[in-house]
Chains A and B, each alone.
Chain A
Amino acid sequence: MAAFFSPFISKPDTVAQIMLRVMLALLPGIAMYVWYFGPAILVSIALASVTALATEAAMLKLRNRPVAPFLQDNSALLTGWLLALSIPPLAPWWLIVVGTAFAISISKHLYGGLGNNPFNPAMIGFAVLIVSFPAQMTHWLTPHGLGQVELGFLDQLRYTFLGSLPPGVTLDAITMATPLDTLKTRLHLDESVKQIFDMPIYGRLAGQGSEMVSLGFLAGGLYLIAARIITWHVPVAYLGALFATAGIFHLTDPAHYVTPLFHWFSGAAMLGAFFILTDPVTSPTTNKGKLIFAAGAGLLTYLIRAFGGFPDGIAFATLLMNICVPLIVLYTQPKVFGKKHPSGKNGGAQ
């Protein structure tokens, strides 16, 4: 009975457990990844994990904070995993290390560490990488059965760490642009959606392989909602907004705008809806705010995908909406018990 004040009991949940369960929920998606693209992703995840923990420990030391409790909270690990899942699996090792280290040190700890960062660290890491190393960020692996050559696990490892490919194999032979990317380039060449979809890289819903990965993330996300780790607000609003915008454009011109389902199951939409936008620290705290935040992100994702310069828009949509969070929270305060109006209207932002 070490507590000096009530309540003397508390739910056994801890931050570490919550993070761990989010990581568990990532597993179906990761399994799909391995199945369709080979085990390279596991290497990047491992690399990101080690970097994340090392950076976290170093930053805690530098900031004169206790290291043990924070290292055990799994939040750094989760950041590392999310970053690894959003960049190409065959990325050189230093890309992952730089991205993760940047995410943890600059965008998390410089803002005050766990709970205080205004921007999603994983997405900051991603944004930095895609701006600084655009070439390396396009080396996506070709799914099983589509490439001319397939690399074995050892070859993949060698490429990741040494940057060398087996003799006779070029990088182009094993990688390709993502389905979203291809779509964008081809549309610019004035091909119609139908023509493009006849290409072998497209599957039933979206990209061959990547659609299954998205399904995996969807399954994990549903588990998170069922286990009450996240609420339904963010995924529903995000996917809803994405579906609605994509749907409107698709209806106006089916030849140039793909179906909303394609948008759902390509790129990082599912990962974003259930795992990235739901990051508690950087999303609004009110339910209404969550809806606005996620819907805004859905809209932005579509706009960036359809009209922007980048093939996928999750990262920038997330970061842009992160900026708005304090304002959204301030204007979506719930009605307090016994009051007619929400509180805080006369106060400023936090």
Chain B
Amino acid sequence: MLEALLVMSLIALALGAVLGYSAIKFRVEGNPLADKVDALLPQTQCGQCGYPGCRPYADAIVSGEADINLCPPGGEEGIQKLADLLGVEFKPFGAGAEPKPKAVAFIDENTCIGCTLCLQACPVDAIMGAAKQMHTIIASECTGCELCVAPCPVDCISMVTISENVENWKWKYPVYALKSVPPETTSRTPV
């Protein structure tokens, strides 16, 4: 009896030592978890999460200060991925934070006065223009963050929703004929 206990505690001690040693020896610099979280965020840089960009939000999530359901552009799928990565429960969006359809900003060139205010607001430098020149959005780089809409003094920026068309259309998930259970409960479980 006593022997067994002794052996067990010895083994435990030895393993503990190994673990402790490797934790110090193989320590990774920086915060790789924040990098991983950042990689899952959509990089819209819209600040809707309450942080000044995706990276700060990622840091906040990792430090435990922010919840995982604050990023509307990432959608429910984004929350799910964060939940999987961090090993926590999926959490639905709070009220008023539901994702909107994807859109890009569009500057009405007739009204633009070339004030450069929107240019300063754009987090990804997707607006081209110079002082007193008409500005325009580089649509392919626009993340749809809407940050340029409010600063415009003449209200010439509008968000244009990207609707489905022949180019961006996707094949749909085949309808499975054998589902007699309501779709909400089965959508995540394979048949």
Residues of B within 8 A of A65 (CB): 178, 180-181
- Distance of A116 from chain B, by nearest CB (Å): 9
Q: A69 within 8 Å of B by Cβ? A: yes
Taken together as a complex, chains A and B put the C-alpha atoms of A69 and B180 apart, in Å, by: 12
Q: Is the CB of A69 within 8 A of B181?
A: no
- Distance of A113 from chain B, by nearest CB (Å): 9
- Distance of B181 from chain A, by nearest CB (Å): 5
Q: Of residues 150 to 191 in B, which have CB atoms within 8 Å of A's CB atoms?
A: 174, 178, 180-181
Residues of B within 8 A of A64 (CB): 180-181
Q: Size of chain B's interface in residues, with CB distance under 8 A?
A: 4
Q: A348 within 8 Å of B by Cβ? A: no
Q: Of residues 10 to 30 in B, which have CB atoms within 8 Å of A's CB atoms?
A: none
Q: A167 within 8 Å of B by Cβ? A: no
Taken together as a complex, chains A and B put the C-alpha atoms of A66 and B179 apart, in Å, by: 8
Closest B residue to A64 by beta carbon equals: B181
Taken together as a complex, chains A and B put the C-alpha atoms of A223 and B180 apart, in Å, by: 37
- A1-23 interface code vs B (CB 8 A; 1 in, 0 out): 00001000000000000000000
Taken together as a complex, chains A and B put the C-alpha atoms of A66 and B181 apart, in Å, by: 9
Residues of A within 8 A of B180 (CB): 64-66
Taken together as a complex, chains A and B put the C-alpha atoms of A255 and B181 apart, in Å, by: 63
Residues of A within 8 A of B178 (CB): 65-66, 69
Taken together as a complex, chains A and B put the C-alpha atoms of A64 and B180 apart, in Å, by: 7
Residues of B within 8 A of A69 (CB): 178
Taken together as a complex, chains A and B put the C-alpha atoms of A66 and B174 apart, in Å, by: 19
Taken together as a complex, chains A and B put the C-alpha atoms of A69 and B181 apart, in Å, by: 15
Taken together as a complex, chains A and B put the C-alpha atoms of A5 and B173 apart, in Å, by: 12
Taken together as a complex, chains A and B put the C-alpha atoms of A210 and B102 apart, in Å, by: 71
- Distance of B110 from chain A, by nearest CB (Å): 45
- A219-242 interface code vs B (CB 8 A; 1 in, 0 out): 000000000000000000000000
Residues of A within 8 A of B181 (CB): 64-65
- A28-67 interface code vs B (CB 8 A; 1 in, 0 out): 0000000000000000000000000000000000001110
Taken together as a complex, chains A and B put the C-alpha atoms of A66 and B180 apart, in Å, by: 6
- Distance of B49 from chain A, by nearest CB (Å): 34
Closest A residue to B171 by beta carbon equals: A5
Taken together as a complex, chains A and B put the C-alpha atoms of A5 and B171 apart, in Å, by: 10
Taken together as a complex, chains A and B put the C-alpha atoms of A64 and B178 apart, in Å, by: 11
Closest B residue to A69 by beta carbon equals: B178
Apart from A64-B181, A65-B181, A66-B178, 6 more pairs, CB < 8 Å: A5-B174, A64-B180, A65-B178, A65-B180, A66-B180, A69-B178
A-side residues, CB < 8 A to B, are 5, 64-66, 69
9 contacts across the A-B interface (CB closer than 8 A)? A5-B174, A64-B180, A64-B181, A65-B178, A65-B180, A65-B181, A66-B178, A66-B180, A69-B178
Give the 6 A-B CB pairs with smallest separation, nearest first: A66-B180, A64-B181, A66-B178, A65-B180, A69-B178, A64-B180
